[in-house]
Amino acid sequence: MNITENQVMKFYKKIEILNPSQLSISKISKKIDISIVNWEYSSEVVRWKGRTKVFLNADLNYQQKWQEFGHEMKHVFYDAGRQEFLPNTYVYFQECKADHFSYHFCIPTFMLQNVSDLSVYNIMNLFNVEFDFALRRLEMYQNKIISKGETMCELQYM
């Protein structure tokens, strides 16, 4: 596993979330003591006086909120400060990293490895994500396996 996959796994194991049915915004936010606020604007993270709040767009469906939550959690874990004071290229870099992180946060590799039916629809249902998100994560996972010289047949017996 790469660094992001390991960090996500360690985080989830530390808060005792070990299978897809335990993945939820409310459960995770409660375990790490961050507030979730639904509002009409785009999603973002705010830190104020030692407290962290994740603002999620209220118009999103639950799958979209979960995916946005995964994106925002990268900012919670790794970023500090306000983006309006950063160069645009660095903001773009942070956002690309957060997008990548969200795939691993919402569909953790250590959980994905235990899924016997690696179909897009099964991943959608197990991890409560949208089709395109599940498809992209499955592609990422399969590309990683192929690059290691493993086949999908071998994967089924891991």
Angle of CA points 39, 40, 45, to nearest 5°: 50
8 Å CB contact between 68 and 43 = yes
Per-residue confidence (pLDDT) for residue 158, from 0 to 100? 34
Per-residue confidence (pLDDT) for residue 157, from 0 to 100? 36
Angle of CA points 94, 78, 46, to nearest 5°: 85
Q: Does residue 44 carry a pLDDT above 80?
A: yes
Per-residue confidence (pLDDT) for residue 95, from 0 to 100? 86
Domain extents in the chain? 3-156
- The rounded Cα 146 to chain-centroid distance in angstroms is 22
Per-residue confidence (pLDDT) for residue 101, from 0 to 100? 97
Dihedral pair phi/psi, residue 148, rounded to 5°: -90, 0
Reported pTM: 0.88
Q: Each residue of 71-97: pLDDT tens digit?
A: 999 999 987 666 676 667 877 888 899
Is residue 16 helix, strand or coil? coil
Q: Which of 54, 49, 12 is nearest to 34 (CA)?
A: 54
Per-residue confidence (pLDDT) for residue 69, from 0 to 100? 98
N- to C-terminal Cα distance for the chain? Answer: 14
Q: Each residue of 98-153: pLDDT tens digit?
A: 999 999 999 999 999 999 999 999 999 999 999 999 999 999 999 988 877 544 44
Identify the burial level of 119 via C-beta atoms within 10 angstroms of its C-beta, where 0-12 means exposed, 13-18 middle and 19 or more buried.
exposed
Is residue 126 helix, strand or coil? helix
Q: Each residue of 45-64: pLDDT tens digit?
A: 998 898 999 999 999 999 99
Per-residue confidence (pLDDT) for residue 155, from 0 to 100? 41
Per-residue confidence (pLDDT) for residue 151, from 0 to 100? 44
